[in-house]
Amino acid sequence: MPIFILFICQMSGYILAIESSCDDTSAAVIHNGKILANIVVTQQIHEQYGGVVPELASRDHQKNIVPVVMQALNHANIQKKQLAAVAYTKGPGLLGSLLVGSCFAKSLAQALELPVLEVNHMQAHILAHFIEEPVPKFPFLCLTVSGGHTQIVKVNSPVDMEVIGETQDDAVGEAFDKSAKLLGIQYPGGPMLDRIAKMGNPNRFVFPDVEMKGYNYSFSGIKTAILYFLQQNIQKDPTFVENNLADISASIQSCLVEILLKKLRRASRELHVNEIAIAGGVAANSWLRLKLDEESKKNSWSVYIPKLEYCTDNAAMVAMAAHFLYDNKSFGTLSSSPLPRWSLNC
């Protein structure tokens, strides 16, 4: 009986999770796999620079982290002394940003004499699928698409993931953001381009795809093709972008999404996996969501798309990953350092 009580106490612990890998300061609380709070503060300072400035991001994390954590605890209606563990994003991400979250989490854990849980940001994006029903069945393929990554991951279990293909240069989020910048679309480029593209014709212009080996991707070629395409057309007509912005945006978006889907279709066919998930910031893209829905009907895929708030960076996904790590007794150490590059395969 006492052993049983001890087991229940361990399973029902509250875990505080902190995410600070880029420009969102976020804290969440999870209890028995259920998210009780998820506070996200997106830094506005980068807007005037048209992209994330790493030094400013870490300074803003320093300002935000205490109020964000306090808000998460208040929202979950718990006190620090009720916590069973503190989790944080150890990598990949911007070193300065990661340092703020990791130093804060480890200090808090040490002060409260709690274990720490070290979470891989990309694993967390994938495990965001377990926050709410319906959840994918193992094994599933996850197209993980963000500002820094583009990968197809074979997910065998919450703690066993294999990257089977990835970009060899730019991430697709970068391709969205850089294309938006070339078109003069204001920051944040990806979501704005998505919005403008809704009014355009996706078949009006075609941009070339670069053939890559296996399930790998490349997005630097299409970025250069877009640059030359714009330069040539602006030379002929200086108002070209202004007059065709929606069609150009829709065509770029359609080409980027088709590049993503081509490899995903192939991986699904060759590996005989029909459970398909998407994760990461670009999973918020409306055209990608629409096309995946069409693909699910054509290929008998079961497609899993997280809620918008769980696609972009948030601590709820870190909390979900921490929940699995805690169950697996995969605890971290106070002496470990953030890893700006941390592959899922390691």
Least Å distance, CB 57 to ligand KG4, is: 12
The yes or no reply on residue 118 touching ligand KG4 (CB under 6 A) is no
The yes or no reply on residue 170 touching ligand KG4 (CB under 6 A) is no
Quick one: which of 15, 16, 18, 22 contacts ligand KG4 (CB under 6 A)? 22
The yes or no reply on residue 146 touching ligand KG4 (CB under 6 A) is yes
The yes or no reply on residue 306 touching ligand KG4 (CB under 6 A) is no
Phi, psi of 192 (to 5 degrees): -70, -40
Helix or strand (DSSP H, E) at 174 = helix 172-182
The smaller minimum CB distance to ligand KG4, of residues 146 and 254, is found at: 146
Q: Please provide the DSSP assignment of 50-115 as one string.
A: TS--HHHHHHHHHHHHHHHHHHHHHHHT--GGGEEEEEEEEESS-HHHHHHHHHHHHHHHHHHT--
Instruction: Determine the interface stretch with Zn ion among 7-15, 193-201, 307-315, 325-333 (rule: CB under 5 A).
Output: 307-315
C-beta neighbour count of 256 within 10 angstroms = 29
The yes or no reply on residue 285 touching ligand KG4 (CB under 6 A) is yes
User: Mapping DSSP to helix (H, G, I), strand (E, B) and coil, where does residue 86 land?
Assistant: strand
Instruction: Determine the interface stretch with ligand KG4 among 143-151, 160-168, 228-236, 238-246 (rule: CB under 6 A).
Output: 143-151
The smaller minimum CB distance to ligand KG4, of residues 114 and 250, is found at: 250
The yes or no reply on residue 23 touching Zn ion (CB under 5 A) is no
Q: Going by DSSP bridges, is the β-strand pair 160-166/150-157 parallel, antiparallel, or unpaired? A: antiparallel
Please work out the total of residues on this chain that contact Zn ion, with binding judged by CB under 5 A: 2
Q: Exposed (0-12), middle (13-18) or buried (19+): which is 150, by Cβ within 10 Å?
A: buried
The yes or no reply on residue 202 touching ligand KG4 (CB under 6 A) is no
Reported residue count of the chain is: 346
The yes or no reply on residue 96 touching ligand KG4 (CB under 6 A) is no
The yes or no reply on residue 146 touching Zn ion (CB under 5 A) is yes
The smaller minimum CB distance to ligand KG4, of residues 31 and 129, is found at: 129
Q: Exposed (0-12), middle (13-18) or buried (19+): which is 25, by Cβ within 10 Å?
A: buried
- Single out the residue of 24, 54, 61, 67 nearest to residue 42, CA to CA: 24
Instruction: Determine the interface stretch with Zn ion among 109-117, 130-138, 256-264, 305-313 (rule: CB under 5 A).
Output: 305-313
Please give the residue ranges that form the binding site for Zn ion (CB under 5 A). 146, 313
